[in-house]
Amino acid sequence: MIEDVQNPIDKDWWRGAVIYQIYPRSYQDSNGDGIGDLMGITERLEHVASLGADAIWISPFFKSPMKDFGYDVSDYCDVDRIFGSISDFDALIAEAHRLNIKVMIDLVLSHTSDQHSWFVESRSSRGNPKADWYVWADPKPDGTPPNNWMSIFGGSAWQWDTRRLQYFLHNFLTSQPDLNFHSPQVQEELLGVTRFWLEKGVDGFRLDTINFYVHDKQLRDNPPLEVSRRNATIAPSVNPYNHQEHLHDKNQPENLEFLKRFRAVLDEFPAITSVGEVGDAQRGLEIVGEYTSGDDKVQMCYAFEFLASDPITPKRVRDVQERFQRYAPEGWACWAFSNHDVMRHISRWSEGIHDHDAHAKLLASLLMSLRGSVCIYQGEELGLEEAELAYEDLRDPYGIQFWPDFKGRDGCRTPMVWTGATSNGGFSNVQPWLPVPPAHLSRAVNVERDDPASVLNHYKAFMTFRKRHPAFAKGEIVFEIADDQVLGFTRVFGNEIVLAVFNMTESDALATLPEGAWEALEGHGFMTGNDGNSVRLPAWGAYFARRA
């Protein structure tokens, strides 16, 4: 491809980008069936543009029986009818690009639906052409599963199949059999899927459960995990998945070779990126470092450090950032505080918090000031809290399985609220697939848009401020303060040194500034003045300056 010298392609557009995650079932219903769809996303892209986001990430919209709401794919190259059609996706791409918004889609490569034609053929016999496309194993002599691997959704990761008289592996639902990445044909087919969507015009991919692709060929048992380490997990505490050290069911070294092949496909196209979800709390940052090192694997990954329930404190933020730099000196992270799989962070970190909006603004500014790219989950920009749903309203099989000790993921997946004066928040003109919490209506887009002091307008202002200072997107990070109240660091890029100081408590704090002269910056929604070599920060306050 010949590059336009007057408008050169920015192949590093993703570095420091703000990516807005859209859960399509819950963003906007355009056809009155109570479920969001691709046309609904297209209708609402102006909102994303008004925020100042660089890209959108759309959770799965492929053909699926929807037992795990799209993460059980039955056809990788078709749109499920509830979301629309391929032509609707083409229109979405065109509108996003008109608005200078990149489009990333969610590829679920580790497993398919049991209704996928590949699995239907694979399970039909032991000798068919796709017999080894999934992970099949004989039972032990006593008929029990081949090893002790556990499913994240509870119970054994092995399901008996009466056709082949073998077990198949499923790390998630029994209806989500795992693909066998030891098969060259499987890898080729998935790389073909990747090319299909690149030729459609997508700008990148979010890779679901990127570290689950390859399993131990010898099917060795996982060792038990010491009780003291069981809080380091991506599963709820009631799940026996936490009792194992997951050495053999994921995180295999052969995965790196597949990622190199995947990256080679991306590099056939200009300015494509990828971000992998590392589903491992035991050694997540170490894996992120492996997967993003050099220029031959994925560009970005995120682990679960800031998606866990652990309180967010100055010392924890510094520890996570510095551990990432230690494990991945060449790598690049993509940080998120919320997504479609975890309790919204405003609720997760809300214990004892009285000023909801000030807390939400502080966390937003902190997230967008860290070294790395950023994922913002729909509704986060409104300061939405986790929805409390009745058991009869649940749709998530994860929550239904472990209710009431773990209520699943429906509470963070309720519909986006656009207008406060309607019962369904402007999402749909019929009963939505999940109820709209009445408490969310007062935080609808049209309500917050007209309030200069709203969380929404703070997000907009801070994104504008961030773009004026490239150090936030591209710069290195040097920590200056990390005590019980205050976090302070500089971001350094070229000749620009920007200082960011955050009071992460509900009490006033006095912070001593690093040595040197600092010129206060404006336009970020917080205080701007300092008193010589110190600054007094109100509760949930922040201060930004640059080296004078």
Query: What digits encode the pLDDT tens for the residues 310-331?
Result: 899 999 999 999 999 999 898 9
Active site annotation includes 208: yes
Bridge partners (DSSP) listed for residue 134: 179
Mean pLDDT of all residues in 343-358: 94
Residue 489 pLDDT exceeds 60:
yes
With residues binned 3-state (H G I as helix, E B as strand, rest as coil), the percentages for the chain, rounded to 5, are 30, 20, 55
Residue 398: the pLDDT is 86
Q: Choosing from 72, 88, 203, 208, which is the catalytic residue?
A: 208
Mean pLDDT of all residues in 243-266: 97
Taking the alpha carbons of 345, 346, 347, 348 in that order, is the dihedral positive or negative?
positive
Do residues 72 and 173 lie in contact, with contact meaning Cβ atoms separated by under 8 Å?
yes
Q: Choosing from 268, 450, 451, 519, which is the catalytic residue?
A: 268
Instruction: List, in order, residues 6 or more apart from 450 with CB less than 8 Å away.
Output: none
Do residues 174 and 113 lie in contact, with contact meaning Cβ atoms separated by under 8 Å?
no
Question: Per the structure block, which two tokens stand in for 417?
Answer: 């609220």
Question: Per the structure block, which two tokens stand in for 14?
Answer: 């993703």
Domains of the chain by start residue, with CATH: 18-110+184-464 (3.20.20.80), 475-547 (2.60.40.1180)
CA distance 218 to 114: 24
Residue 216 pLDDT exceeds 70:
yes
Give the Cβ contact number of residue 51 at 10 Å.
18
Do residues 332 and 373 lie in contact, with contact meaning Cβ atoms separated by under 8 Å?
yes
Give the Cβ contact number of residue 84 at 10 Å.
22
Tokens 């580790």 belong to which residue? 110
Residue 106 pLDDT exceeds 50:
yes
Residue 345: the pLDDT is 97
Mean pLDDT of all residues in 21-42: 98
Give exposure, 346-383, as e/b (b: 16+ Cβ within 10 Å). Answer: bbbbbeebeeebbbbbbbbbbbbbbbbbbbbbbbbbbb
Query: DSSP letters along 233-296, please?
Result: -SS-TT-GGGGB--SSSS--THHHHHHHHHHHHHTTSTT-EEEEE---SSSHHHHHHHHHSTTS
CA distance 318 to 369: 12
Q: What are phi and psi for residue 50, nearest 5 degrees?
A: -70, -30
Residue 232 pLDDT exceeds 80:
no
Mean pLDDT of all residues in 219-242: 84
Please give the DSSP secondary-structure letter assigned to residue 531. B
CA distance 329 to 292: 10
Mean pLDDT for the chain overall: 95
pLDDT digits (tens, 9 = 90+) for 470-482: 999 999 999 999 9
Do residues 222 and 149 lie in contact, with contact meaning Cβ atoms separated by under 8 Å?
yes
pLDDT digits (tens, 9 = 90+) for 270-289: 999 999 999 987 888 999 99
Tokens 């990333």 belong to which residue? 104
Residue 3: the pLDDT is 46
Instruction: List, in order, residues 6 or more apart from 169 with CB less than 8 Å away.
Output: 134, 135, 136, 137, 149, 157, 158, 177, 178, 215
**Sheet of 158-161, strand order:** 136-137, 166-169, 158-161
Bridge partners (DSSP) listed for residue 105: 58, 205
Do residues 179 and 187 lie in contact, with contact meaning Cβ atoms separated by under 8 Å?
no
Residue 548 pLDDT exceeds 50:
yes
For residue 233, what pLDDT band results from cuts at 50, 70 and 90?
Answer: low
Do residues 153 and 398 lie in contact, with contact meaning Cβ atoms separated by under 8 Å?
yes
Mean pLDDT of all residues in 426-445: 97
Question: Per the structure block, which two tokens stand in for 539?
Answer: 């509760």
Angle of helix 254-266 relative to helix 284-292, nearest 10 degrees, comes to 50
Mean pLDDT of all residues in 108-129: 98
Residue 447 pLDDT exceeds 90:
yes
> Which one has a higher pLDDT value, 529 or 88?
88
CA distance 505 to 4: 50
Which contacts of 253-260 are long-range, i.e. CB under 8 A and separated by 24 or more positions? Answer: 254/181, 254/182, 254/214, 255/181, 255/210, 255/211, 255/213, 255/214, 255/291, 256/290, 256/291, 256/297, 258/181, 258/187, 258/213, 258/214, 259/210, 259/291, 259/297, 259/298, 260/296, 260/297
Residue 6: the pLDDT is 54
